[in-house]
Amino acid sequence: MSRAAIWFSAAVIALAMASVPALFGELPDMRSEHITADELAAIQADENVEARKQAAGQALCTQARGPNSEARWTPEGHLVCRIRNKFVKVDL
Protein backbone atom coordinates (compact mmCIF):
# COMPACT_ATOMS: atom_id res chain seq x y z
CA MET A 1 0.00 0.00 0.00
CA SER A 2 1.25 3.45 -0.78
CA ARG A 3 1.75 6.09 1.83
CA ALA A 4 -1.09 8.20 0.35
CA ALA A 5 -3.54 5.27 0.53
CA ILE A 6 -2.66 4.70 4.20
CA TRP A 7 -3.20 8.37 5.04
CA PHE A 8 -6.44 8.41 3.07
CA SER A 9 -7.69 5.28 4.88
CA ALA A 10 -6.75 6.80 8.25
CA ALA A 11 -8.64 10.00 7.42
CA VAL A 12 -11.75 8.08 6.33
CA ILE A 13 -11.69 5.99 9.52
CA ALA A 14 -11.23 9.12 11.67
CA LEU A 15 -14.16 10.85 9.98
CA ALA A 16 -16.34 7.76 10.37
CA MET A 17 -15.53 7.48 14.06
CA ALA A 18 -16.16 11.19 14.58
CA SER A 19 -19.59 10.98 12.92
CA VAL A 20 -20.86 8.03 14.98
CA PRO A 21 -22.19 10.16 17.89
CA ALA A 22 -23.88 12.48 15.41
CA LEU A 23 -25.69 9.51 13.85
CA PHE A 24 -27.13 8.25 17.11
CA GLY A 25 -27.72 11.57 18.81
CA GLU A 26 -27.70 11.99 22.55
CA LEU A 27 -27.91 8.84 24.62
CA PRO A 28 -31.20 8.45 26.51
CA ASP A 29 -31.35 8.93 30.25
CA MET A 30 -31.81 5.44 31.67
CA ARG A 31 -32.81 6.68 35.13
CA SER A 32 -36.31 7.45 33.90
CA GLU A 33 -36.77 3.82 32.85
CA HIS A 34 -35.77 2.60 36.28
CA ILE A 35 -38.29 4.92 37.89
CA THR A 36 -40.93 3.61 35.51
CA ALA A 37 -40.02 0.02 36.38
CA ASP A 38 -40.37 0.80 40.10
CA GLU A 39 -43.74 2.44 39.50
CA LEU A 40 -44.86 -0.57 37.46
CA ALA A 41 -43.90 -2.92 40.30
CA ALA A 42 -45.92 -0.80 42.75
CA ILE A 43 -48.95 -0.84 40.44
CA GLN A 44 -48.74 -4.61 40.08
CA ALA A 45 -48.54 -5.02 43.86
CA ASP A 46 -51.62 -2.80 44.26
CA GLU A 47 -53.49 -4.87 41.66
CA ASN A 48 -52.62 -8.06 43.54
CA VAL A 49 -53.99 -6.57 46.77
CA GLU A 50 -57.16 -5.47 44.94
CA ALA A 51 -57.64 -8.95 43.42
CA ARG A 52 -57.25 -10.63 46.84
CA LYS A 53 -59.73 -8.13 48.34
CA GLN A 54 -62.27 -8.89 45.60
CA ALA A 55 -61.82 -12.67 46.03
CA ALA A 56 -62.30 -12.42 49.80
CA GLY A 57 -65.40 -10.25 49.34
CA GLN A 58 -66.84 -12.70 46.82
CA ALA A 59 -66.25 -15.59 49.23
CA LEU A 60 -68.07 -13.71 52.00
CA CYS A 61 -70.99 -12.87 49.72
CA THR A 62 -71.24 -16.45 48.46
CA GLN A 63 -71.31 -17.70 52.05
CA ALA A 64 -73.91 -15.12 53.15
CA ARG A 65 -76.22 -14.86 50.12
CA GLY A 66 -75.54 -17.98 48.04
CA PRO A 67 -73.72 -18.83 44.82
CA ASN A 68 -75.65 -16.29 42.74
CA SER A 69 -74.39 -13.34 44.79
CA GLU A 70 -72.03 -10.65 43.62
CA ALA A 71 -69.52 -8.68 45.69
CA ARG A 72 -69.42 -4.94 45.04
CA TRP A 73 -67.51 -2.24 46.88
CA THR A 74 -68.82 1.25 47.64
CA PRO A 75 -66.54 4.27 47.14
CA GLU A 76 -66.15 4.36 50.93
CA GLY A 77 -64.80 0.79 50.89
CA HIS A 78 -67.83 -1.05 52.26
CA LEU A 79 -68.74 -4.49 50.93
CA VAL A 80 -72.20 -4.83 49.40
CA CYS A 81 -73.53 -8.26 48.48
CA ARG A 82 -76.28 -8.40 45.89
CA ILE A 83 -77.93 -11.06 43.82
CA ARG A 84 -76.86 -11.10 40.19
CA ASN A 85 -79.48 -10.35 37.58
CA LYS A 86 -80.12 -13.10 35.12
CA PHE A 87 -80.32 -11.82 31.61
CA VAL A 88 -81.15 -14.13 28.76
CA LYS A 89 -79.90 -13.23 25.32
CA VAL A 90 -82.54 -13.77 22.69
CA ASP A 91 -81.45 -14.06 19.06
CA LEU A 92 -84.04 -12.64 16.70
pTM of the model: 0.52
Average pLDDT on 39-51 reads: 91
User: For the chain, where are the alpha helices, taking DSSP H only?
Assistant: 3-24, 31-65
Cα distances from 25 to residues 7, 19, 21, 31, 89, in angstroms, run: 28, 10, 6, 18, 58
Summarised one tens digit per residue, pLDDT across range 17-34 is 777 766 666 666 667 667
**Whole-number pLDDT of residue 52:** 95
